[in-house]
Amino acid sequence: MPSSLTSFTLVKECSGRYCASFVVEVEEIRLPWTAREVGLDLGLESLAVGSDGEKIAPPKFLRSALRTIGRLQGSLNRKAKGSSNRPKARLLMARVQEKVANQRLDLFHKLSTTYIRENQTVVLEDLNVAGLSRNRRLAKSIADAGWRMFRTLLEYKAERYGREVVVVSRWEPTSQRCSSCGHRDGKKPLSIRRWTCSACGAAHDRDINAAKISSPSDRRRG
Ligand SMILES: [Zn+2]
């Protein structure tokens, strides 16, 4: 234990299991500065796509769990309200969901630690939910929760290790438009943090340029 407890909470999960959580003070551990940056694109088909194009395929447990959850949901919907089988089906569902959430959290912990250790800046593009087909809503809600979880992990680790996490909207065109002359310079990979306008030659920091473009007096989409 790195320090004394400041709070302790015991929660009973819907699955019937107990879960303890506590708050401790942790020391900041500054990692040596690195010039490396990575842009991450989280989708449903892959857990993350780095700006170097490296994809991390979702582990088998996530795919099979999605099928199981879909099946359980179907059987839960068929059970009549008030029937004795309904609470049982609900408990089974909660257990499966909890197991998946724990496995995924473990995986996200490992991934986020690696990305934060290896990069000074991690740029996270908001969730890509394009190309959904089977189990569409379910998959989306699971992916949404996963994206938020992953972002939270990245952010607190970045703070702890002296790194930076930047979240960008995939629909925001600001990274493409020059704030000096308005020229559309084309979509840039997330790893490109600084660029020079090909029309007027202005040098831009991606975030500062985006902030200038999206200031309230000049908020446009397209
Ligand atoms: Zn320009």
User: Is 52 known to be catalytic?
Assistant: no
| Residue 144 alpha carbon to ligand 1 centre in Å | 36
Contact by Cβ (8 Å): 116, 157 = yes
Give pLDDT tens digits for 9-49.
777 777 777 777 777 777 778 889 988 888 887 766 667 77
| Residue 219 alpha carbon to ligand 1 centre in Å | 17
Q: Distance between CA 150 and CA 144 in Å, rounded?
A: 10
Domain borders along the chain are 35-168, 173-218
| Residue 204 alpha carbon to ligand 1 centre in Å | 9
Give pLDDT tens digits for 157-215.
999 999 999 887 665 555 578 888 888 887 777 667 788 898 999 998 877 776 676 55
User: Is 207 known to be catalytic?
Assistant: yes
Catalytic site residue from 125, 126, 164, 172: 125
| Residue 201 alpha carbon to ligand 1 centre in Å | 6
**H or E segment and range at residue 96:** helix 85-118
Tokens read off for 206: 């991606």
